[in-house]
Amino acid sequence: MASVLLYHVVGDLTVGKPELVEFPETETVEAAIRAIGESTECGIPVWKRIPAVGMVEKNEMRQQRFVGILTSLDIVSFLAKSQCLEDQDKAMKTQVSHVVVPNNSLLKIVDPATRLIDALEMMKQGARRFLVPKSKVWKGMSRRFSILYNGRWLKNNENASSSNLIPNVNRPSSSSTSTYMHDKFCCLSREDIIRFLIGCLGALAPLPLSSISLLGAINLDYSSIEASLPALEATQKHPGDPSAVAVVEITPDGHRQILGEISASKLWKCDYLAAAWALANLSAGQFVMGVEDNSGSRLFPDFSVKSPDQDKKTENGGGSARLRRFSSRSIGFNPVSPSFGVGRSMYRGRSAPLTCKTSSSLAAVMAQMLSHRATHVWVTEDDNDDVLVGVVGYSDILVAVTKQPAALVPSTRSITELASGIHS
């Protein structure tokens, strides 16, 4: 096990992190859209309100108030429902408690002195965010062996041997039942973990330079939809981790050719109402490839998209909502290809999926994800850029970086053979 995972603690990653501002479940979808747009990721934690003002809240109580993580894909899928398209104003005023998928296990409250290796184990088991108390006594400085915290030795018990000086993840920390009424909290995500790890590539050697195929980091169990099917069917796939559905075209020889994706990260800063209309009315291929104003917009009817500013102008008699035609730019896509099925070889734009090869190194994939602020990278065959093999997400990387070097044994079967066996 790399020493950097053993000798660093969660508190080392909280330096410079802003204080958490809770987003309550009673807020509206319209407010959630603004909050996601202003956040550093494509999803926000949603909370129940504190039952009583000024009450002393223990960690267990705070954990129970956490509802789940609301993503941009959740909102677009909700707005794409027929009743929401018929009354957009009502849909935008809907409380997020009716939209967010409840999952209390996605967030864990951890002590700043929790070892990084223990934190990774929690994330490998499904946690996506950590809520960390920004204690006044924690200075954020790395303690090489992470065993001295707040002026005392951390032990499993008073009679623990020297081998048990580091706290166990299965044992509640000494401060797990403490009250942090006057303390501030910050939220750590898996992206924060990956960003820290990429700064420690030397300490993780030889894993970073190993291929994702050799590390077994390619997830073959991904969600996909054929380009000819309605885009709305992508919401029925219930993509979990990552929150993405690949849009593919089946070739005559049975391979899956990736055209794009419908995902939370792609819809992060989009025009949500335009994206919802497109999701409900277009095929998956048309949705991801886009329809340019000067060529394909005549194929689709006009639709109304009103911004909050336009609503105010309408109420004040200052004008009416402007009717617009759907285009790739209205969603946030801007592909070079003029329309679906035309000039696919020139398809390079913001709607292009982020891809890598099966032979790509783990370090290269981590750098791709961080530079593009993506939650995943699609994996294609080494000799064919379009043939989809699988996907690499945050959880796959966390599993890979905790592998023992001795476990890196080349597989007797190629990753392509495994993928074809799963999807045949």
> For 93-118, how does the pLDDT look when each residue is reduced to its tens digit (9 = 90+)?
999 999 999 999 999 999 999 999 99
Q: Please compute the mean of the pLDDT values over residues 189-217 and round it to a whole number.
A: 92
How far apart, in whole angstroms, are the C-alpha atoms of residue 298 and residue 198?
47
Q: Quote the pLDDT of residue 306.
A: 45
Q: Quote the pLDDT of residue 327.
A: 53
Q: Quote the pLDDT of residue 332.
A: 55
- H/E element, 130: strand 129-134
Q: How confident is the model at residue 310 (pLDDT cuts 50, 70, 90)?
A: very low
Q: Which residue has the higher pLDDT, 256 or 157?
A: 256
Q: Domain 3-147+184-206 adopts which CATH fold?
A: CBS-domain (3.10.580)
pLDDT beyond 50 at 199: yes
How far apart, in whole angstroms, are the C-alpha atoms of residue 263 and residue 77?
11
Q: How confident is the model at residue 405 (pLDDT cuts 50, 70, 90)?
A: low
Q: Quote the pLDDT of residue 13.
A: 92
Q: Quote the pLDDT of residue 270.
A: 87
Q: How confident is the model at residue 67 (pLDDT cuts 50, 70, 90)?
A: very high
- Weakest mean pLDDT among 116-125, 261-270, 281-290, 313-322: 313-322
Q: How confident is the model at residue 59 (pLDDT cuts 50, 70, 90)?
A: confident
Which of the listed ranges 173-182, 199-208, 300-309 does the model predict with the highest average pLDDT? 199-208
List alpha helices for 209-358, DSSP H. 212-215, 272-281, 284-289, 308-315, 328-331
DSSP label at residue 282 = S
Q: Quote the pLDDT of residue 95.
A: 97
Q: Quote the pLDDT of residue 1.
A: 55
Buried b (16+ CB within 10 A) or exposed e, 200-228: bbeebeebbebbbbbbbbbbeebbbbebe
pLDDT, tens digit, for every residue of 254-272? Answer: 889 999 999 999 999 889 9
How far apart, in whole angstroms, are the C-alpha atoms of residue 401 and residue 227?
35
Q: With the C-alpha atoms ordered 108, 109, 112, 114, is the resulting torsion angle positive or negative?
A: negative
pLDDT beyond 70 at 216: yes
Q: Please compute the mean of the pLDDT values over residues 225-243 and round it to a whole number.
A: 90
Q: Quote the pLDDT of residue 293.
A: 31
Q: Quote the pLDDT of residue 309.
A: 47
Place of tokens 């319209």: 30
Q: Quote the pLDDT of residue 158.
A: 35
pLDDT beyond 50 at 404: yes
Is residue 115 within 8 A of residue 393, CB to CB? The reply is: no
Q: Quote the pLDDT of residue 331.
A: 59
How far apart, in whole angstroms, are the C-alpha atoms of residue 207 and residue 213?
12
The DSSP-derived string for 151-206 is TEE--SSTT--GGG-SPPTTSPPTTTT-B-TTSEEEEEEHHHHHHHHHTTGGGGTT
Mean pLDDT over each residue of the chain, to the nearest integer: 77
Tokens of 282: 């277009």
Q: Which residue has the higher pLDDT, 389 or 420?
A: 389
Is residue 289 within 8 A of residue 347, CB to CB? The reply is: yes
Q: Break the chain into its structural domains and give their ranges.
A: 3-147+184-206
Which of the listed ranges 22-26, 198-202, 252-256 does the model predict with the highest average pLDDT? 22-26
pLDDT beyond 90 at 408: no
pLDDT, tens digit, for every residue of 163-198? Answer: 333 344 443 343 433 443 446 899 999 999 999 999
Q: Quote the pLDDT of residue 407.
A: 52
